[in-house]
Amino acid sequence: MSHPPLLEMRGIVKEFPGVRALDGVDLTIRAGEVHCLLGQNGAGKSTLIKVLAGAHGIDEGTILWEGQPVSFADPQAALGTGIATIYQELDLVDGLSVADNIFLGHERARGGITRDADMNRTARGLLETLGHPEIRPTREVGSLSAAGKQIVSMARALSREARVIVMDEPSAVLDPDEVDGLFRVVDDLRSAGKAIIYISHRLEEIRRIGDRLTVLKDGRTVAGDLSAKDTPTSELITLMTGRTVTSVFPRRSAPLGDGPALLEVRSLGRTSEFQDVSFDVRPGEIVGFAGLVGAGRSEIVETVFGARRATSGTVTVDGQKLRPGSVDAAVSAGLGLCPEERKSQGLILDDAVYRNVSLASLSRFSRYGVTTESAERRAAHEATRSVDVRPDAPERIIRTLSGGNQQKVVLARWLLRSCKVLLLDEPTRGVDVGARAEIYALVRELADSGVAIVVVSSDIEEVLGLSDRVLVVAEGSVVHDGPADAIDASGVLDRILATHDHQNQNGEVA
């Protein structure tokens, strides 16, 4: 608190047609600190950082930089001042090299000719500063892991001599080891006097990395300059949601029966991705897949759903063996999938909510090729109400909904379809704590109604807390299958590491 403010936002107001997205937001940022920005989806965080990035102008309020009023007419103005933003959906160009991405938009050139050697040399120095000399400046960005791409985005920010770096959900696609690496880099940036604005829905991360925090709700600042380490979690949840939300996962309300499995997977494999995967899921059972990013979990559920074609093995739903690589066959048999990337894989963002809900059930509302739109809209509306999509507006364009409500729309799609088996891949990624609790409750209600559910999540505690049975996936194989209450997070990681070590030993022997 001894440092004077580097950046101040006072009474920031931003309006869009029919929506007051920011309604008097205050934010104070100091050099050499990690300032965490919290709030539910729709609280105004994204709008606020776009104002900082120069993507949106403001309607009212003042922005001060080292005590002097400033305005950002465009992103170049924000960058020129010293503010760089690393968005959750990284804006890197996969086909370009690391160095080209770092200097994209401010290439080093002389006489109209790009100075590649100069950019490679400077990029190498930036990567070494970030503790990642193993990333070659000439390497194609598309070949890097999610963690590697995060580092390249940080190097890009440093290349613009940024003094404030905004990080929007930087850990969303990272495994635990990669998150540790990210935090080491953030610590180094803080020690170098950089100011970090860190946005995350994971409250445990706030404790580890944050110094101070600000909470937004409904476009307003409801708390500022709180201690990130000392403010009780219960207080943060109440500030964000306006109500008390416990982090306890819902209990099973109906006993699990002994009936035959609804989903049977036998010796399923896909060349170079996973092999010999077998498991069953009974009616009312939630089976969780735990493992690190890249272990093969998403590939397994996408192959079960027919989005990828298996090279070996079988999938059977309620006694019906499915044709490999056929999504139509899977849906007809009663399978539903909420994919890992809901925006790019699960939703038509510029279409209405009711259209997104009815996608898997259009034949129900069609006769002779003509859709009865009133029936479609009415049924979709009932489905969205049953999962409490907010706002209750089926005509609304789905892009305008928060992440948690977008995920509820995907769930409503399969409710309308009355699926027997539901595959959930990262069901709460990018979802705030209030909506997360609601989604957990919905998943448990579906299970209690007899739906067989598979959950894939990078959050090990989520898998353990939500599931009845847990499968641990490592190196493309299932290395553990047992009750969720018989293993903890350390046990999951131990099995993953043991498999990794075994694979390395076999490689060395070979």
Is the pLDDT at 63 greater than 80? The verdict is yes
Out of 137-151, 414-428, 438-452, 487-501, pick the least confident. Answer: 487-501
pLDDT tens string 186-206: 999 999 999 999 998 888 889
Confidence of residue 502 (pLDDT cuts 50, 70, 90): low
Burial of 95 from C-beta contacts in 10 A (0-12 / 13-18 / 19+): exposed
Out of 15-19, 55-59, 220-224, 329-333, pick the least confident. Answer: 15-19
Tell me what pLDDT residue 506 has: 62
Please report whether residue 174 resides in a domain: yes
Give dist(CA 168, CA 505) in Å, integer: 38
What is the amino acid identity at position 257?
Answer: G
The 10 Å Cβ neighbour count of residue 359 is: 16
Are 200 and 84 found together in one domain? yes
Confidence of residue 510 (pLDDT cuts 50, 70, 90): very low
Q: Any idea of the CA torsion for 200, 205, 210, 215, to the nearest 10 degrees? A: 40
Please report whether residue 424 resides in a domain: yes
Contact 136, 148 (CB under 8 A): no
Confidence of residue 180 (pLDDT cuts 50, 70, 90): confident
Find the domain containing 49 and state its range.
5-241
Residue 486 makes CB contacts below 8 A (sequence gap 6+) with none
Out of 65-74, 126-135, 177-186, 500-509, pick the least confident. Answer: 500-509
Confidence of residue 248 (pLDDT cuts 50, 70, 90): low
For 46, the token pair is 């994204």
Residue 271 makes CB contacts below 8 A (sequence gap 6+) with 311
Please report whether residue 411 resides in a domain: no
Provide the total of helices (H) and of strands (E) in the chain, helices listed first. Answer: 16, 24
Give dist(CA 370, CA 489) in Å, integer: 52
**Report field, pTM of the whole predicted structure over 0.75:** no
Place of tokens 């604005």: 197
Q: Which of 211, 241, 271 is the last residue before a domain boundary?
A: 241
pLDDT tens string 89-138: 778 899 999 999 999 888 887 766 778 899 999 999 999 888 889 999 99
Tell me what pLDDT residue 505 has: 62
Report, as an integer, the average pLDDT of 303-307: 97
Are 321 and 452 found together in one domain? yes
Are 111 and 9 found together in one domain? yes
User: DSSP letter at 336?
Assistant: E
Tell me what pLDDT residue 312 has: 97
CA angle 405, 409, 413 (to 5 degrees): 165
State how beta strands 83-86 and 164-168 pair. Answer: parallel
Are 156 and 220 found together in one domain? yes
Are 235 and 268 found together in one domain? no
Contact 430, 402 (CB under 8 A): no
Confidence of residue 372 (pLDDT cuts 50, 70, 90): confident
State how beta strands 370-371 and 366-367 pair. Answer: antiparallel
- Per-residue HEC secondary structure of 190-238 comes to HHCCCEEEEECCCHHHHHHHCCEEEEEECCEEEEEEEECCCCCHHHHHH
Report, as an integer, the average pLDDT of 433-462: 90
Give dist(CA 160, CA 458) in Å, integer: 33
Q: Which of 178, 209, 241 is the last residue before a domain boundary?
A: 241
Give me the CATH number covering residue 497. 3.40.50.300
Give dist(CA 46, CA 3) in Å, integer: 27
Give dist(CA 400, CA 28) in Å, integer: 28
Q: Is the bond into 324 cis (omega within 30 degrees of 0)?
A: no
Confidence of residue 267 (pLDDT cuts 50, 70, 90): very high
Please report whether residue 460 resides in a domain: yes
- Per-residue HEC secondary structure of 48-106 comes to HHHHHCCCCCCCEEEEEECCEEECCCCHHHHHHHCEEEECCCCCCCCCCEHHHHHCCCC
Are 237 and 281 found together in one domain? no
Is the pLDDT at 246 greater than 60? The verdict is no
Contact 151, 158 (CB under 8 A): no
For 405, the token pair is 């409500």
State the total domains in the chain.
2
Are 128 and 217 found together in one domain? yes
Are 98 and 234 found together in one domain? yes
Continuous segment of H or E residues that includes residue 358: helix 353-358
Confidence of residue 459 (pLDDT cuts 50, 70, 90): confident
Contact 486, 496 (CB under 8 A): no
Please report whether residue 321 resides in a domain: yes
Give dist(CA 306, CA 322) in Å, integer: 9
Are 298 and 219 found together in one domain? no
CA–centroid distance for 328 within its chain? 27
Are 234 and 314 found together in one domain? no
Tell me what pLDDT residue 501 has: 65
Are 35 and 168 found together in one domain? yes
Are 59 and 161 found together in one domain? yes
Q: Which of 180, 208, 241 is the last residue before a domain boundary?
A: 241
